[in-house]
Amino acid sequence: MNAIISASELASDLAGTTPPTLLDVRWQLSVAKAAGEPSFDGRAEYAAGHIPGAVYVDLDSELASAAGGRGRHPLPDLAVFGAAMRRAGVSAGAPVVVYDGGQGWAAARAWWLLRWTGHPDVRVLDGGLPTWEGALETSAPAPAEGDFTPVPGAAGLLDADGAAALARSGVLFDARAGERYRGEVEPIDRVGGHIPGAVSAPTNENVGTDGRFKPAEELAERFKSLGAGGGSDVGVYCGSGVSGAHEVLALAVAGIDAALYVGSWSEWSSDPSRPVAVGAEPQ
């Protein structure tokens, strides 16, 4: 099953006999600004207009638990996550489509969590809400309670030790911007740099100028050139396990299975005992 869906395909599915459950996960990374600008409010954006039938899901409170020693967006409490999914109408036997404001990171986080906890049919709207050409609605739907119960998978998740080992035994991609990987800048975390042995693979290079994923063949070639696709185990990390989920999604589009280090650099760099590499080379 393809991990992404186009806006035209979604419109057709919504008009069909078994329309998918729609989740709106609009979110942006909140970084304090000297100008005092208000932080992004995904719920307000949803209320101003969303794809008909979509239910809003909050990334910070329902797709992650509170920031702390395990990173800025650690795994959510599964009871909280499961309740949020059922409230949104998610059932194990019904398809789900997730979208966000176009960046794709938040939608990918929801996609990854649902897949990791056992949902068999989840796709992300390629390019997000900006690609939708149909009408929007402002009223919030009240779907019937879903029956989805999350059960974590045995594979697909890395902790710090697992990420360190995979960087040496397989391929560990760093999905952040190249300058953060190299340690030239670090706007959020304690220290700049990367996990020793990790390969720089910025998420933004997986999409075109329209925000849609590049063709599967092109993505497969990109990841192959970076060391994946040859039978080695593959993992991904980012700043806090959000943009990294988007890279896992890109790898899925390319036909490559990958695990996610959810704690990512925000967890790794908070521990002074963890080694840090800088520069353009994995080391």
Please pick, among 234, 238, 251, 258, the residue that the annotation labels catalytic. 238
Q: How confident is the model at residue 15 (pLDDT cuts 50, 70, 90)?
A: very high
Q: What is the pLDDT of residue 128?
A: 98
At residue 98, φ and ψ (nearest 5 deg) are -115, 140
Q: DSSP 3-state assignment of 79?
A: helix
Q: What is the pLDDT of residue 200?
A: 98
- Mean pLDDT in residue range 50-59: 98
pLDDT tens-digit readout, 149-160: 999 997 899 999
Q: What is the pLDDT of residue 34?
A: 44
Q: What is the pLDDT of residue 260?
A: 98
- Mean pLDDT in residue range 50-78: 97
Is 257 assigned a catalytic role?
A: no
Name the burial class of residue 275, with classes exposed (0-12), middle (13-18) and buried (19+) by CB atoms within 10 angstroms of its CB: exposed
pLDDT at 31 over 70: no
> Which of 22-26, 40-44, 162-166, 211-215 bottoms out in mean pLDDT, i.e. has the lowest?
40-44
Q: What is the pLDDT of residue 83?
A: 98
| Amino acid at residue number 42 | G
Where is 114: in which H helix or E strand? Answer: helix 105-116
Q: How confident is the model at residue 29 (pLDDT cuts 50, 70, 90)?
A: confident
- Mean pLDDT in residue range 63-70: 95
d(CA 161, CA 163): 5
**Mean pLDDT over the full length of the chain:** 95
pLDDT at 32 over 70: no
pLDDT tens-digit readout, 98-141: 999 999 999 999 999 999 999 999 999 999 999 999 999 999 99
